[in-house]
Structure 1
Amino acid sequence: MTSPNLHPMLNVAIKAARAAGAIINRAALDVESVRISQKQVNDFVTEVDHAAEAVIIETLLTAYPHHAIWAEESGKTHGTQGSDFVWIIDPLDGTTNFIHGFPVYCVSIALAVKGKVEQACIYDPSRNDLFTATKGRGAYMNERRLRVSKRIDLRQCLISTGFPFRPGDNFNSYLKMMADVMQRTAGLRRPGAAALDLAYVAAGFTDGFFETGLSAWDVAAGSLLVQEAGGLIGNFTGDADFMEQRECVAGNPKIYSQLVGILGKYSKFASAADKAAVRKATLNLVSPDARPGAQVDDTAA
C-alpha cells in the first residue's frame, strides 16, 4: 500500500521493505530450518538475508533502473554505479537475533542523493512497525510524527549500544567505554539491531545510542530518522560526517553532546593524549597489577 502524501521514492522503499518483511516473517515461522552460513566468527548470513535483499533490489530497480545499489550482502554489483542516486540496503539487520528466534530485527533502506541521505525506511516485520523519513519532512512511525526525547539529565536516560563481537574488536576498550556511560545513566541496553536502535532514538523510546564497527547500511536510514525527529548523530568526536567512519553516537541534542563528551576520547580521531589515557585505563581494566610494557590492543581507541 502506498500513500499519496509520501515522496514517490519513499513509497517504493516501503513497498520493497514490506516485501522483504513478508519473506522474513514466513521464515520466522520455522527458523530452525533456515540455512545459515558464517561470513566470519560471530558474523552470520542466512538464505533469508539473500532472499530479502534480492526482492528489495528487484523492487527498487524496477522503479528506478538507473539508480545505484549498495547492499550488505551483494555490495555494489547491482544497478548503475556512478549514479547520483544510491540505495543503501540492509535486508535483515539483527541476523543473529533472527536465527535464535529473538524478535528484534528489521529491514533498513535509505536513498542517498549526491552523498546525502534523503529518504529512509526501517521496517520491523515482527511488530509491523514502519519508520519513515524524507529530508525536510519529518520522521514518522506508522504515520505518527516522531520527536526525540526531551530528557536533559543523563542520569535519567536509557541508552542503547552494541557489543563488540568480530575478530579484532577491542573488547577491553569497549568495556571501559560502557562502564563510563553505564555509571552515568539510568540504564544501558543492547537490543542487537543498530538500525532499529536509531529508529528508537528517533521515537524517543531511548535517549541515545552509541556503537563502533558499524557499516553505512547499518546507520544510513536511521541517521535521517534521528535528524528529522530533532536529534543529532555523528562520530564520537561529534563530527557529522560519520557514515563510513565505523563509530556512531546519536541522541537528543542535550544527551548527544554529553555522550560525545564521554566517548570522544575513545574515537579513532581523538588526540594522542586522549588515546594514551584510554590505553592506560584499559590496561588497568585488563589487569590492575599488569607489568609495565604489557601489550594492549588500542585499535579501537
Structure 2
Amino acid sequence: MRSAASLLNIAQTAVAIGVDLIKSSRPEYIQDKGDRDTVTEIDFEVERQIREYLQGATPEIGFLGEEEGVQAASGEAECFWTLDPVDGTANFVHGLPLCAVALALTCNSKAIVAVVATPFLDLHYSAAVGEGASVNGRPLKCSDTTELSKAIVSIGDYAVGENATDKNHKRIRLTTLLAENAERIRMFGSAAIDLVWVAEGRTDATVILSNKPWDTTAGVLIAREAGAIVVDVEGNPHTLESTATIAMTPALLDSLLPLVHAANLDGASG
C-alpha cells in the first residue's frame, strides 16, 4: 500500500483537473436524471477525466463515481476512489458559486485520504487519516461553540424524487426545531461544503438526512480530522452504511442530537 502522503498528492492532482474544467466551462446540455434532479455534460467530463487520471496513477485501486458507477481495478480491489464530480450541480447550473469536487479514498470501507475543492471560492480542503486536515495549506480546527443558541447549523437539501413528500416531513420538522433553538439555519446545496465548513468552523454543525458515499465520504474525513464529531441519527459513529450524516463541534452533541431524534420519530427512511 502506498503512503498516505503519496495518495493525498494523487488525490489533489485529480481534483485539480476537475476544478480547472469547472472554472473554464459553462453547462450547455442539462439533462434530467430524476424528479428535479439534473446532470450536465460537465459532470460527466469531470468524472471521465479524473477517472482516467486515477486509473493511470493507481491502477490497483477501484473507482466509484456518482454519474457512471463502479469501474473495476486491475485486480481484486479492497480500496476505491469515490468521486462526486460536481457536488451541487443545481447551484452550478444556476450560476451559484456553492459547488465542489469531492474525492475520497476508502480501504475496507474506511476513508484514508480526502480532498474537497470549491472551484469558484478557491478553497482547497484535504485530509489524511490521523494526520489532520487543512484548507489552502492552513490547519483546520472546528469551532469551539458550546451552545446551540449560538450555533449556525446547515441542513441538507430537501428531498426530491420517490417518496419526497414523506421524507420532507422529517426535514420540515427538523427545520422547525432548529429555527426554535439554533442561532441561524443555512442550506448550501452541497453536502461536501456542509461538512468542510464544519471542519473549518465557518458553521458549527450540519444535519444531512441522507448518506450517498460520493456526497459525504470526503467531507466526513475532513471534518473528523479537524476535531468534529460525525454520527448517524442514533449517535453512533458515522459509517458508509449510515442513513444520515450529522457533523458538529463536540460540545453540541447533547443539544443537537435530541432535535434530530424528534424530527425522525416516524422512523421513515431519508
TM-score by length of 1: 0.84
Instruction: Give the CA deviation at 1:80.
Output: 4.5
Instruction: Name the residue aligned to 1:224.
Output: 221
Instruction: Give the CA deviation at 1:50.
Output: 0.4
Instruction: Name the residue aligned to 2:268.
Output: 299
Instruction: Name the residue aligned to 2:185.
Output: 188
Cα distance in 1 for residues equivalent to 2:72 and 2:83? 12
Cα distance in 2 for residues equivalent to 1:165 and 1:63? 37
From 237, 240, 259, the counterpart of 1:240 = 237
* Cα separation, partners in 2 of 1:143 and 1:100, compared to 1, 3 Å: same
Give the alignment of 1:1-301 within 5 angstroms: 7-28=5-26, 31=27, 34-80=28-74, 82-167=76-161, 168-169=163-164, 170-267=167-264, 274-275=265-266, 299-300=268-269
**After TM superposition, which residue ranges in structure 1, 4 or more long, deviate above 2 angstroms?**
77-82, 241-246, 264-267, 298-301
Would the aligned equivalents of 2:142 and 2:228 in 1 still touch at CA under 8 Å?
yes
Instruction: Give the CA deviation at 1:137.
Output: 0.7
Would the aligned equivalents of 1:121 and 1:131 in 2 still touch at CA under 8 Å?
yes
Query: Which consecutive unaligned segments of at least 5 residues does structure 1 have?
Result: 268-273, 276-297
Would the aligned equivalents of 1:249 and 1:256 in 2 still touch at CA under 8 Å?
no
Cα distance in 2 for residues equivalent to 1:95 and 1:42? 11
Give the match's secondary structure for 2:98. Answer: coil
Structure with the larger RCO, 1 or 2 (CA within 8 Å, 6+ apart): 2
Would the aligned equivalents of 1:42 and 1:165 in 2 still touch at CA under 8 Å?
no
Would the aligned equivalents of 1:233 and 1:256 in 2 still touch at CA under 8 Å?
no
Identity across matched positions, percent: 28
Give the match's secondary structure for 2:71. Answer: coil
Instruction: Give the CA deviation at 1:82.
Output: 4.0
Which one-letter code corresponds to 1:299 in the other structure?
A: A
Task: Please identify, of 13-22 and 164-173, the stretch whose mean Cα deviation from structure 2 is larger.
Answer: 164-173
Give the match's secondary structure for 2:69. Answer: coil
Query: Which consecutive unaligned segments of at least 5 residues does structure 2 have?
Result: none
Instruction: Name the residue aligned to 1:278.
Output: none
Cα distance in 2 for residues equivalent to 1:194 and 1:89? 13
Which one-letter code corresponds to 2:107 in the other structure?
A: V
